[in-house]
Amino acid sequence: MKEQKNRRSKSGFTLIEVLLVVVIIGILAALVGPSLVGRAGDAEIAAARAEIAAIKTAIRVYEMDMGSLPASLDALINNPGGTRWQGPYLDGPAIDPWGNPYQYTRGDRTFDVTSSGLNQQNN
């Protein structure tokens, strides 16, 4: 009987051991957590820049096919009525990582594509 009681009292973890593990996990989370949170924003910015580059390439291909810049980004997805249109040039609507449409402005031979970014300011 005594032998059985000793086995029961020795199995498992003590409260101090459990608290020590929780404290260690907390310290690790405090050190690693902030660096991971900042990375999410960096990844969204990198994704937006890559998407803008892809949109600009699609606009240049459209221009080569049609002979002029598109009136809007929608012309890269839906045929605006030209027989030389070889699209779609984009897979879907041009939406940035924050859920906002990309802004497209054009001149006679120039154009720009921007994102309003996380704070709704052009970036």
Q: Would you list the domain boundaries of the chain?
A: 17-114
| Dist. CA 32–CA 42, nearest whole Å | 16
% residues pLDDT > 70 (the chain): 83
Q: What is the CATH number that goes with domain 17-114?
A: 3.30.700.10
pTM for the model stands at 0.65
Answer yes or no: is pLDDT of 78 > 80: yes
Place of tokens 């949109």: 55
Place of tokens 């906002």: 100
The pLDDT, as a whole number, for residue 9 is 57
C-alpha pair distances (Å), 71 with each of 22, 61, 74, 110: 59, 14, 8, 12
Structure tokens at 113: 């594509």
Q: Tell which wins on pLDDT, 38 or 73.
A: 73
